[in-house]
Structure 1
Amino acid sequence: MNAQFLLVILIGFAEGIAVGAGFVAFLSVLGIIPRLTQLSKTWHLIRFYEWGIIIGAVVASWLSLRNPSLDLPKYVVVPIGLGAGVFIGMLAAALTEVLNVLPILTKRIGFIDKILVLLMAIVLGKVFGSLFHWTIFVNGGVK
């Protein structure tokens, strides 16, 4: 191995450590996982949430370095996408709750008594956006 190859390995490792430390700090300082379990009333499953995030981050990082092509049938991909979307949506909801964004937003736009309408608009927008992405762009691109 030459010095340039070792330098690239060292830089890549250092970047991974920096990004990983930032991700862990983000989750732990804001208390995302405990808030998520509090909102969903699943304190007993907190270890599954933690391991799900860790395994998901590692697998997603590994897959981002490759260009995998999984030729799975739609009836297999839809539940996987639905589960991933629900989990990401719950993480986003927990983050929103931690930062108190929605109460501030509803006060500023005069929607304080219709917060449920705002939440449903956000949820449905995420669901339809994800379905559009997965059915149009992932399955062979726009034709």
Structure 2
Amino acid sequence: MKINRIALLLALLLAVFAPRGLAAQQQGSAQSLSAFVAGVARLWADGQSDALVELAPRDGRILLDLAGEGPGEVQPRNAAAALRRLFADRETVTVRPTAATVSGGTPLRGFGELTWVARPRGVSETLSSVVYVGGVWEDGAWRIRELRVMR
């Protein structure tokens, strides 16, 4: 009888405190995703293509859509080359993180947005784009799964 009461008490405690623990974990993930997106913004502003690619998941693949031609999943060296071309063609004026949202799932996924103001080299008029950063939680850290430049 005493064991049943203890088991009932433990089950009750788990039911009461488990959702709070999960909510705290989600909130922590949201905060770390915001910090991750801000870090991606800094690398983007500096044109650090290799450093951005180093943030790829374990399999190294990143889904890229940089020229509006449609997304394609590429290997790290191809992603770095495409980013180098993009940054070589434009002079960055500002990059600002504007959103970060944990979307859930297993593995945990989230996304962020950057507002990128740049100008083609040799031109004074600026262009504003939104950079979509799709992330996946892997090995205790956020990793870049997807990058899209949208006008």
TM-score (norm 1): 0.28
* Structure ranking higher in helix proportion: 1
Structure exhibiting the larger radius of gyration computed from Cα positions: 2
TM-score (norm 2): 0.27
* Structure ranking higher in strand proportion: 2
Greater relative CO, 1 or 2 (CA 8 Å, sep 6+): 1
